[in-house]
Amino acid sequence: MKYDVLKKQFGYDTFRPGQEEIIDAILAGQDTLAIMPTGAGKSLCYQIPALMLPGITLVVSPLISLMKDQVRSLNQNGIRAAYLNSTLTPGQYAKALALAQRGEYKIIYVAPERLESASFLRFVDQADISMVAIDEAHCVSQWGQNFRPSYLRIKSFFETHSKRWRFCAFTATATAQVERDMIELLGMRDPQVVKTGYDRKNLFFAVEYPANSFSRLLELVRQRSSQSGIIYCIRRKDVEMLCEKLQQAGVPATRYHAGLSDEERNANQEDFIFDRKPVMVATNAFGMGIDKPDVRYVIHYSMPSSLENYYQEAGRAGRDGQAAECILFYHAKDERVLRFFIENQDFDGVDEAEKKERIAKDWRRFEAMKNYALCPDCLRHAILAYFGEPSPTRCEACSNCLHEYETVEISESVHTILGAIKSVRQKFGATLVLSLVKGSRSQKIEQYHLDQSAFYGNLSGFTMRQLQDILRFMVQDGLVETTNDTYRLLKITPKGNAFFKQPASLTMRQYKKAEAAQAAADDVFEGLRAIRTRLSKKYRVPPYAIFNDRTLREMASARPQNKAEMLAISGVGEVKYKKFGRYFVAFFQNES
């Protein structure tokens, strides 16, 4: 019978991997937890049992947009479905409940908050409920990327009813901790856990470091003018700015964020879904459960706060199983924005111990995301390894696997950095330690007399970007760790101490200099030269008296975003920074 429903109602001849196993478990009356990547067909796993079982299936869903899309799709397939949420007037809500009571609907979507509504609870007591499905079940876990306190009410909802309905829960991404939380906090009884794997083989992953983010974005969007895509930003103001600039460039773009009215969000979402405006610029408020299978690309203009968030958002591309692209833009300034968000969360009503635990957790997730953005190895492998799934070390379907690499010996550099950390008694963070070994003349270096250190300037021949890559390798290799607090101090691990006492050969992969990358660096260099020329005329001094070409080229490579990073550049001291530095920092800050 399930194959008849599959063909008649949904038009498919066969199930995707994992679907039939999940459906059979549900029909057998077993609690079921399904962990399936976006686009793997989670909804079908509860919709088919809902049509085969007598009575009504309740689907708890976190977002209004998700409910709306799902109900529309079901109705188009000839399946009577409805949603109960805050968009309904009291009259509409009462009518929907009455129709449901008469058996007019097979599937009803509800927000978790409704589980405490007196009118809804009366309906549940009287209605013929056969199954409850929890969508986006990871929302119940404080270790998950979208924790929603309202999901914690689901367990008590079950416990207050004597009848035990069939129970299933679904999510796209879950670490081992989140999986345990879903089972415990939802009150699942000895569930059958079905994992179909996280790998989305149709997705191509790429990380880019554009000199001019908007120019690169516009290039990518224009190259895909016949395709539908989503562009994610961290902040609402970035969404507004990007959407306006894209529209001015003739791109049919729209926007979505929590600051817009419900009416505008709904209208913009409709424009996107119906391809009237195929480019959506949005914060992470957009996308969960959006039923648009033909999104061909997702571009993260800003780095998300975690790999869970990134993979969920990137996974909105290619839900139809066809080839799609997931492109991440990385800029150092994104780190500062995310650090601000982590350190300035609303912890109202949370005790100090729990606050520290949450911040530490967020730091760990942030570091994992940053490591992905700067990973020189296979991006797909990095994602799957994070979720604990074995995979080949090369996929040949990400930007890193398609790049050429060279192996460099870094043992001496690592030994020097470890020595520098020891020399400051592990009381400083990455910026100051790397400035020390680079030989920076920054104010803090002089303030703490670090220019007298035996390690001062020992790695002056490296760019700041190269030193950052080496330090990142040291963290990933377990030689160094950072404290999970605001200060982010560098601490040497036992493994790092052992290496310092008895150095061994260490190698690291890095990109070979590609022509395209060099061309991009040359473009930045020319932009810096133009600034230098203007300043030369303004202050009536020779260009080289401002900064020489070597300094400008290091700037082009390091892309300093603030005073500390600027002072780490060879040839930039306090005096020159005070007089000229702000113009060059502004150049990099305005790139995007």
Q: Do 506 and 519 sit in the same domain of this protein?
A: no
So what's the pLDDT on residue 516?
Answer: 45
456: phi then psi, degrees, rounded to nearest 5: -65, 120
Q: In this structure, are 64 and 142 located in the same domain? A: yes
β pairing state of 490-492 and 480-482: antiparallel
221 Cβ contact list (under 8 Å, min separation 6): 229, 231, 246, 251, 279, 299
**Tens of each residue's pLDDT in the chain, 592 residues:** 888 888 888 777 889 889 999 999 999 999 999 999 877 788 999 999 999 999 999 999 987 777 887 888 788 778 899 998 888 888 898 898 889 888 899 999 998 988 888 888 888 888 899 999 999 898 888 765 577 888 888 998 888 887 889 999 999 877 788 899 999 999 999 999 999 888 999 999 999 888 788 989 999 999 998 889 999 999 999 999 999 999 999 999 999 998 999 899 989 998 998 889 999 999 988 876 566 888 999 999 999 999 988 998 999 998 888 889 999 998 877 877 888 888 777 767 677 787 788 888 888 888 899 889 988 889 999 999 998 888 888 888 898 888 766 778 999 999 999 999 999 999 999 889 999 999 988 788 888 999 999 999 999 888 887 888 899 889 878 899 988 666 779 999 999 999 999 999 998 877 665 444 455 566 788 889 889 888 988 888 777 778 877 788 888 888 888 888 888 887 787 778 888 999 999 888 776 4
Which of 369, 398, 427 is a domain's end point?
398
| 233 shares a domain with 215 | yes
Q: Are 477 and 530 members of one domain? A: no
Q: Let me know whether 257 and 334 are in one domain.
A: yes
Distance CA 160, CA 28 (A): 23
Question: Which CATH number is 502's domain given?
Answer: 1.10.10.10
Spatial CB neighbours of 421, under 8 Å, sequence gap ≥ 6: 428, 433, 480, 490, 491, 492
Give how far Cα 89 sits from Cα of 85, 94, 96, 249, 269, Å.
Answer: 9, 9, 10, 40, 21
Q: Which residues contact 288 (CB under 8 A, 6 or more apart)?
A: 62, 63, 65, 66, 136, 146, 312
Three-class SS state of 361: helix
Residues 72 and 152 in one domain: yes
Query: Residue 590 in 3-state DSSP?
Result: coil
pLDDT recorded at residue 520: 57
Tokens for 524, please give them: 């930045």
Predicted model pTM: 0.66
Residue 494: per-residue pLDDT: 95
- Same domain for 181 and 215, yes or no, is no
Residue 55 is part of which domain span? 2-195
Regarding whether 188 and 79 lie in a shared domain, the answer is yes
Instruction: Give me the phi and psi of 573, to 5 degrees please.
Output: -110, 180
Domain boundary among 160, 195, 230: 195
Query: Which 3-state string (H, E, C) describes 298-352?
Result: EEECCCCCCHHHHHHHHCCCCCCCCCEEEEEECCHHHHHHHHHHHHCCCCCCCCH
Domain check: are 380 and 412 in the same one?
no
Which amino acid is located at 559 in the chain? R
CATH code, 143: 3.40.50.300
Cβ–Cβ under 8 Å, residues 110 and 60: yes
Residues 244 and 185 in one domain: no
Tokens 């500390």 belong to 564
Task: Mark whether 251 and 220 lie in a shared domain.
Answer: yes
Domain boundary among 350, 380, 398: 398
Number of domains observed in the structure of the chain: 4
Please tell me whether residues 171 and 26 are part of one structural domain.
yes
